Structure 1
């Protein structure tokens, strides 16, 4: 058989390799593979626990700190912010009023928005490009501003919302565990936002 029939075939480079993985190989979970354009929001996926942990570990230090501190602070809003006690009357009660007043509630909403934007990409969904069209801020700077605002609103709102003893000297009102936990965790989340901003995220 003559080789003339192959003369019209294009030459094949022996060093050429395709970047496409074999069809029988599973795709790797990459929540932050490439920067997205504003019109590309991604498709929602439900990763396994192992994929979620590996995706979290693959994030920057600032982003991990913002997520971790934000989640702890978010839970702290549902814990008792104040405690009431009286040695004379013999009672001790706690009150979860972190979300009962306007300023702490506003900080809670800001924190929730931050967490949604930071956690959604771990599930393949990018939400921030929609918000960025309006506020025109990089994600790191937006996270820093929002967590700092939540910290200020939680601290000031907690002081303003502290119940009064109604003039009864025998009743002692103090801040509870939830208030301190929320403020400390919000401080950590704000530090994470600052690191994100410094790294240009």
Structure 2
């Protein structure tokens, strides 16, 4: 009582002598490795932060940290990037340890979907939409590839995922799998996305 609340944080920093943005991207990848599905949103910069390269880090719907590049005036050449994560918040949001699952008695079915989105659309956000539309039948979703170039319009990219669906008590029929796939496609189109099918 009466003592300051000390919140544990994880900090990571990278300094680069060149003018590339690799350091910022590496720390973004670190955040995604620590918190699968994490994404960033532009944030208002403080005086020591780069006005165009400062982001809040979100995971499972909550803000958990900050990703930023230092303002050029803070460095004598080169670029520096910092990732700061609130470990208390990260622990609160972390999923429970995986429970034992008996071996599946019935085979699963997999299909690929390629979603056409704007170049700035985050693959993690697209995956979240696909996951929500697939519902309880979804066993896993896996990022396959990302492509930009002809025949896609400039400023667009195609993000491909492999979705695996199954039922615990039976083998899904081809009609049921097609219905799940159709529901996902329709839902994504209603959200303004185009699909390459």
TM-score normalised by length of structure 1: 0.21
More helix per residue? 1
TM-score (normalizing by structure 2): 0.21
Q: Decide which structure has the larger Cα Rg and report it.
A: 1
With CA pairs under 8 Å and 6+ residues apart, which has the higher RCO, 1 or 2? 1
